[in-house]
Amino acid sequence: MNTDTLEKVVLIHTRECLSQTCGHLMQESVARLNASVGCVCCQLDTTERPVGRWAIHCAWNSIDAMRASFEHLFQPAFDTLIAQNALLSIKVCEANSVELSHGVD
């Protein structure tokens, strides 16, 4: 990715029994992020992961676009996971500090 972008990886751990529901929510969130103003790229990591572990890699063209994404797109998805008692943990990391082929800790 371009050096003018802000990149983050969101690592999400959900209950295994709700994996299909959570996967659908992750895919919808990524689609909405890709369509949002200021999002350069957003993708759900498709490498094989343990059930219930997700990684979303995103890049934005400004800090304001990144904040808006977290407030208006990520937060509602997290609220849904919490309401469903599905969310076990979430961690936001610098993209260059995460090995995407490994599981979420």
pLDDT digits (tens, 9 = 90+) for 11-65: 999 988 888 888 888 899 999 999 999 999 999 986 777 888 999 999 999 999 9
**pLDDT of 3:** 57
Neighbouring-strand partners of residue 73: none
Q: What are phi and psi of 13, to 5 degrees?
A: -120, 120
pTM for the model: 0.81
Q: Domain of 18?
A: 6-97
CATH of residue 67 = 3.30.70.100
Band of residue 102 on the pLDDT scale cut at 50, 70, 90: very low
Could you tell me which residue, 97 or 61, shows the higher pLDDT?
A: 61
Of 40, 35, 78, the C-alpha closest to 59 is 40
Band of residue 1 on the pLDDT scale cut at 50, 70, 90: very low
**pLDDT of 99:** 58
**pLDDT of 101:** 44
Residue 102 lies in a domain: no
Residue 103 lies in a domain: no
Count the Cβ atoms, other than its own, within 10 Å of residue 101: 10
Residue 40 lies in a domain: yes
Residue 18 lies in a domain: yes
Number of domains in the chain: 1
Q: What are phi and psi of 20, to 5 degrees?
A: -65, -45
Sign of dihedral through CA atoms 65, 77, 102, 92? Answer: positive
**pLDDT of 91:** 93
Q: What are phi and psi of 2, to 5 degrees?
A: -65, 145
Of 19, 14, 30, the C-alpha closest to 74 is 30
pLDDT digits (tens, 9 = 90+) for 74-95: 889 899 999 999 999 999 999 8
